[in-house]
Amino acid sequence: MRRTLKQPVPPERSPTVESRVAIHRHPLHPIVVVYPIACLTLLLPADIAHLWTADAFWADVAWWLNLVGLAGGLLAAALGVCDMFLIRVARRHVSAWNHFIAGVMLLALAAAGVWLRWPGPTAAGWWALLQSAPTAGMVVVVGWLGGTLSFGHGIGVYGHREREDDASPEDRELEE
């Protein structure tokens, strides 16, 4: 039975690398990325609901989900690119480049969805479903690769400190 609440850390785990694009050590890319993930994942159910019910409401929902997902994705991509090029260790990982390339592919799919729905959200029809299904699949792939970077390699995260004496004066003030 464990005697402390401190999480066990395996000795072979690589040390974490703090994000360079952060506010008070809170990395911005993981904070912002949840919005395009949510929007682009909900795009597929909205398109299915539109095709199932023939209600224009769901086509409008899909339009806004796609547009907000693309805008949020572009912001998250800008923050992620800054982190990637400011953290030297990140550029050495193949998974960072895979995440980068898959993210660009996801943004291209989101941009295609906005272009497809631009004339009128209801006019997209079955084409919208053919666009939103691979988009949802790419969200899973990009998220998996990003999770590998954060949780597997410890890149671009909060920054883990092992000992109390390593804490900065600002952190000590927060704890008091």
- 99-130 pLDDT, tens digit each: 999 999 999 999 999 999 998 989 888 999 99
Tell me how far CA of residue 5 lies from CA of 2, 119, 174, in angstroms.
Answer: 8, 56, 20
The pLDDT score that the predictor gives to residue 163 is 46
The pLDDT score that the predictor gives to residue 118 is 93
Nearest-10 Cα torsion for 73, 74, 76, 78? 160
The pLDDT score that the predictor gives to residue 110 is 98
Cβ atoms within 10 A of the Cβ of 172, count? 10
Greatest Cα pair distance in the chain = 62
- Where the chain has pLDDT below 70, the residues are 1-2, 4-15, 158-176
The pLDDT score that the predictor gives to residue 173 is 55
Token pair listed for 48: 């299915």
Q: Which residue, 143, 121, 145, 146, is CA-closest to 131?
A: 121
- 79-92 pLDDT, tens digit each: 999 999 998 888 88
Q: What is the pTM of this model?
A: 0.81
